């Protein structure tokens, strides 16, 4: 298979009229929720899932993916203009981006973010096209032992990369794994943890969990805080970079793209971590006379490129291995399953048009973002001032209708409320919901692979260490865990996340 | 008690992990354990439950040695109104129908805001409900009754 043939198949799919249209809708919606604080991509995609029921699978995925990377983009707009990161991944952008805006360089900062994101998106698209097929081929050789070890490695890496306490990340993953087991056991047919309730027999829906924790829980969290949002900038001008400026930021963009592409593949990595890492690197390497934090243009270019690259490469493990590296990818898997596509190495060979169409659509989507958003900046600025007290009841309406329409049962609505409460309490205890969501998705897979691996080895647990690939992955996980537990490094880790 | 617990967040989180783990392990006693070759339904969850209890105990122990901030106060009114509005929606959506359930959902949840004004909330509710009915029921054909079984006849 030739990469060019693949990409041309992708182009012909993505340039279908419906796909082009929904790609556009996706990125616009994504930018919108990115601009509006208090509504993230996970909750939005969960809300819109029911709408995509009647779509072609590839069209649905193209739109949902557009929401995801569009949100990264919108988040940086608010970060630069009002120092309010719409998404977690733009927290870093706010540091220097907002400083630039205060120095009267808002337009330059926005243009840097846009161009950086576009270049990063383009490179990441090619990286996916290059690396996904060999990775999928390798994954075809995986037995259950390899898959189990891969999941263990994934979960451990995501523990290491989680914010805050390691112990809580482990606890939340275990909690998620247990929650994922609720329902009928596929092998024995026994109902587990259902308390005889028929509405639990199929397990807890991922959308119910995600919408409760991210949608409802977030709303209550936001209501606690006072609404203060002043846009100081009514006009943004100078949305252009000179050639000299472009040459100045290009190395930062490329470095950011590299960092983001790599970290995006790792579980628990993705956009947030990528932007943090890229900022740290740029700060070290900078030759700019303007110090970081006071409007250094590299401090915008690096992280913005990184978060976009990371957002895009996080599709690699999802599409080739069927393993989500972050909650958004987990919900994309949910979307694929609704269209009865099992994510994994087979997608590439059985659904090449879907796979390549989705990838090319991301590049087109990035193009839409750069062409559309710079001229529309005035409209987004207006939206930032949208009053939250009128917005959140509407969000709740979407959540309620969305969650009930999936299985047509009101129990899902009650469960969503319950997870809203749980999510709120977890917020108070500083327990991150993201590891729990990963665990929830991976729980049933892990049990199944463990069962099969042990069945094939007649109960001999050493199988995980005697098969070379499996042993390598476990060794990597063990080393990574030991390294972060070393006192000197764990201290540094805490400092990194405190910024 | 509070003088002993130095890190309340760790303490309560640990308590939560440990009790969920213990409850899961307890429930698993009713399921077949099986062996490593033939894992029964209880095998994997019991494993997880034991690990979770260990994490919980570790967090509990740590909370006595490690200083941390107190847990911030709960916004009970906001929490109650938002969750209550959702539960009420679930209870009413079939019997009273989508229209009434949505209007109440918007008005009651909007009440949780400090900027709540009844007039604005009702207006928002009517507009949102009308738009949702148009988009979801008429447009996408989702099977909701606009007026529920109470009004059937």
Residue A311, pLDDT score: 84
Name the residue facing A216 among B27, B59, B86 (closest C-beta): B86
- With beta carbons less than 8 A apart as the criterion, state whether A132 and A319 touch: yes
Containing H/E element for A243?
helix A243-265
- Name the band, by pLDDT with cuts 50, 70 and 90, for residue B33: confident
| Residue ranges in A408-461 assigned as alpha helix (H) | 410-428, 433-456
Residues 6 or more apart whose CB falls under 8 angstroms from that of B42 comprise B28, B29, B31, B32, B33, B34
pLDDT in tens, A252-305: 999 999 988 888 887 666 667 788 888 888 888 877 777 787 888 888 888 889
Closest CA to A113 of A23, A34, A36, A228: A34
To probe the interface with B, which of A54, A182, A401 has the most B CB atoms within 10 Å? A401
Inter-chain CB proximity A446 and B44 less than 8 Å: yes
Q: Which residues of chain A fall below pLDDT 70?
A: 1, 37-38, 84-88, 161-164, 226-238, 267-271, 385, 487-499
Helix A388-407 and helix B76-95, axial crossing angle in degrees, nearest 10? 40
DSSP, res A184: E
Q: What is the largest CA-CA distance in chain B?
A: 67
Name the average pLDDT for chain B. Answer: 88
Check CB contact under 8 Å for A431 and B93: no
Give exposure, A42-64, as e/b (b: 16+ Cβ within 10 Å).
Answer: bbbbbbbbbbbeebbbbbbbbbb
Distance CA A339, CA A358 (A): 15
Nearest CA in chain B to A410: B90
Closest by CA position to A79, among listed A219, A231, A296: A231
| Degrees to nearest 5, angle at CA B20 with A196 and B45 | 65
* CA A341/CA A132 separation, integer angstroms: 18
Best to test chain A binding among B21, B90, B97 (most A CBs inside 10 Å): B90
Contact A39, A33 (CB under 8 A): yes
Distances (CA, A) of A89 to A430, A469, A484, B151: 19, 33, 23, 49
Model confidence band, residue B107 (pLDDT cutoffs 50, 70, 90): very high
What residues of chain A lie within 8 A of the CB of B74, using their CB? 424, 428
- Please report the pLDDT score of residue A499 as a whole number: 46
Q: Which residues pair with A191 in a beta bridge?
A: A184
Q: Does A175 touch chain B (CB under 8 A)?
A: yes
A282 half-sphere exposure, CB direction, 13 A CA radius: 39
Contact with chain B for residue A454, Cβ under 8 A: yes
Instruction: Kindly state the tokens that stand for B94.
Output: 């079939």
Structure token pair of residue A452:
């099969």
Question: What are the φ and ψ backbone dihedral angles of A339, each rounded to 5 degrees?
Answer: -90, 20
Which of B7, B24, B44 should be substituted to probe chain A, the one whose Cβ sees the most A Cβ atoms within 10 Å?
B44
Chain B residue closest to A400 (CA)? B86
Tokens 């309340």 — which residue?
B8
The residue with tokens 């009517």 is: B126
- CA atoms within a 13 Å half-sphere pointing along the CA-CB vector of A489: 10
Residue pairs between chains A and B whose CB atoms are closer than 8 Å: 186
For the CA atoms of A361, A135, A275, A375, the dihedral, rounded to the nearest 10 degrees, stands at -10
Closest residue on chain A to B59 (Cα) = A167
Contact B75 A220 (CB under 8 A): yes
DSSP string for A250-314 = HHHHHHHHHHHHHHHHSTT-HHHHHHHHHHHHHHHH---SSPTTS--THHHHHHHHHHHHHHHHT
CB B86 within 8 A of CB A417: yes
pLDDT value, residue A257: 92
CA distance A174 to chain B (A): 6
- Angle between the A41-48 and A388-407 helix axes, to the nearest 10 degrees? 50
C-alpha torsion sign, points A222, A228, A232, A234: positive
B1 Cα to chain A: minimum distance (Å):
18
ipTM value: 0.92
A202 contacts chain B (CB < 8 A): no
Nearest to A359 by CA among A307, A316, A317: A316
pLDDT for position A307: 86
Give residue B132's Cα distance to chain centre: 24
> Could you give the CA distance from residue B95 to residue B101 in angstroms, rounded to a whole number?
9
- Any idea where the domains of chain A sit in the sequence? 3-498
* Element containing residue A183 per DSSP (H, E): strand A183-184
DSSP-assigned states of every residue in B8-24:
HHHHHHHHHHHHHHHHH
Partner-chain contact B45 A193, CB within 8 Å? yes
Q: How many residues does chain A have?
A: 499
Contacts of residue A397 in chain B, CB cutoff 8 Å? 102, 105-106, 128-129, 132
A window 94-113, beta carbon within 8 A of B: none
Cβ-based contacts of A162 with chain B (< 8 Å): none
Q: Which of A178, A400, A454 sits opposite B45 (nearest CB)?
A: A178
CA angle centred on A441, ends A440 and A444, rounded to 5°: 85
CA angle A321, A323, A326 (to 5 degrees): 140
Q: Are A294 and A102 in contact (CB under 8 A)?
A: no
From chain A, the residues in CB contact with B109 under 8 A are 392-393, 396
Nearest to B36 by CA among A451, A187, A459, A456: A459
Q: Do the Cβ atoms of A239 and A441 come closer than 8 Å?
A: no
Q: Which of A343, A348, A324, A329 is nearest to A267 (CA)?
A: A324
| Cα gap A67→A77, rounded to integer Å | 15
Facing B9 at nearest CB: one of A410, A429, A446: A429
Distance, CA of A275 to CA of A361 (rounded, Å): 23
Number of other CB atoms surrounding residue B69 within 10 Å: 9
Residue contact B45–A387, C-beta within 8 A: no
Place of tokens 């259950």: A144
Name the token pair of A65.
């993916």
* Beta-bridge mates of residue B34: B39
**pLDDT of B126 higher than 70:** yes
What residues of chain A lie within 8 A of the CB of B24, using their CB?
A: 178, 193
Q: Give chain B positions within 8 Å (CB) of A420.
A: 82-83, 86
Q: Cα A407 to chain center, whole Å? A: 25
């Amino acid at each position: 298979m030739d990469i060019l043939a693949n990409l041309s198949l992708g182009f012909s799919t993505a340039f279908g009229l419906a796909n082009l249209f929904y790609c556009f809708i996706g990125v616009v919606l994504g930018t919108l929720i990115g601009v509006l604080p208090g509504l993230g991509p996970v909750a939005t995609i969960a809300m819109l899932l029911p709408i995509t029921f009647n779509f072609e699978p590839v069209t649905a995925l193209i739109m949902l993916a557009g929401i995801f990377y569009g949100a990264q983009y919108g988040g940086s707009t608010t970060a630069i203009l009002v120092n309010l990161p719409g998404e977690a991944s733009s927290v870093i952008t706010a540091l220097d981006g907002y400083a630039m805006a205060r120095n009267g360089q808002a337009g330059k900062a926005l243009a840097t973010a846009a161009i950086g994101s576009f270049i990063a998106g383009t490179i990441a698209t090619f990286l996916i096209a290059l690396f996904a097929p060999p990775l999928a081929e390798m994954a075809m050789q995986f037995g259950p032992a390899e898959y189990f070890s891969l999941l263990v490695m994934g979960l451990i890496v995501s523990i290491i990369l989680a914010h805050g306490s390691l112990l809580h990340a482990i606890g939340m993953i275990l909690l998620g794994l247990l929650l994922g087991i609720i329902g009928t056991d596929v092998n024995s047919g026994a109902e587990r943890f259902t308390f005889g309730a028929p509405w639990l027999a199929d397990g807890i829906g991922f959308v119910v969990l995600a919408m409760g924790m991210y949608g409802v829980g977030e709303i209550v969290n936001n209501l606690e805080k006072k609404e203060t949002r002043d846009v100081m900038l009514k006009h943004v001008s100078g949305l252009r970079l000179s050639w000299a400026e472009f040459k100045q930021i290009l190395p930062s963009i490329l470095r950011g793209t590299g960092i983001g592409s790599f970290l995006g593949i790792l579980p628990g990595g993705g956009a947030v971590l990528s932007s943090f890492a890229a900022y740290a690197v740029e700060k070290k390497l900078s030759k700019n006379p303007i110090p970081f934090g006071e409007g250094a243009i590299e401090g915008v270019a690096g992280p913005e490129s990184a978060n976009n690259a990371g957002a895009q490469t996080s599709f690699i493990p999802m599409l080739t291995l069927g393993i989500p590296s972050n909650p958004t990818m987990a919900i994309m898997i949910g979307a694929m399953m609704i269209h009865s596509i099992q994510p994994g190495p087979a997608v590439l060979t059985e659904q090449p048009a879907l796979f390549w169409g989705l990838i090319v659509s991301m590049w087109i989507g990035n193009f839409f973002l750069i062409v559309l958003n710079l001229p529309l900046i005035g409209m987004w600025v207006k939206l930032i001032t949208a009053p939250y007290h009128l917005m959140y009841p509407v969000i709740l309406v979407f959540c309620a209708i969305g969650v009930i329409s999936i299985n047509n049962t009101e129990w899902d609505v009650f469960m969503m409320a319950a997870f809203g409460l749980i999510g709120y309490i977890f917020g108070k205890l500083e327990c991150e919901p993201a590891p729990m969501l990963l665990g929830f998705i991976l729980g049933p897979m892990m049990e199944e692979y463990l069962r099969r691996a042990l069945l094939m080895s007649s109960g001999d647990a050493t199988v995980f260490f005697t098969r070379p690939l499996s042993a390598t992955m476990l060794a990597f996980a063990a080393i990574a865990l030991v390294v972060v537990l070393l006192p000197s490094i764990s201290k540094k880790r805490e400092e990194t996340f405190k910024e | 008690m509070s003088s002993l617990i130095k890190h309340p967040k760790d303490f309560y989180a640990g308590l939560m992990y440990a009790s969920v783990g213990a409850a899961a392990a307890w429930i698993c006693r009713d399921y077949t354990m099986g062996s490593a070759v033939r894992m029964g339904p209880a095998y994997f969850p019991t494993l997880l439950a034991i690990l979770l209890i260990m994490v919980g105990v570790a967090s509990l122990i740590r909370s006595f040695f490690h200083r941390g901030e107190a847990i911030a106060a709960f916004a009970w009114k906001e929490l109650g109104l938002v969750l209550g509005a959702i539960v009420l929606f679930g209870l009413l959506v079939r019997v009273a129908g989508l229209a009434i359930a949505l209007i109440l959902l918007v008005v009651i949840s909007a009440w949780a805001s400090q900027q709540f004004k009844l007039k604005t909330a009702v207006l928002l509710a009517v507009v949102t409900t009308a738009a949702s009915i148009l988009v979801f029921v008429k447009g996408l054909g989702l099977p909701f009754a606009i007026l529920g079984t109470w009004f059937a006849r």
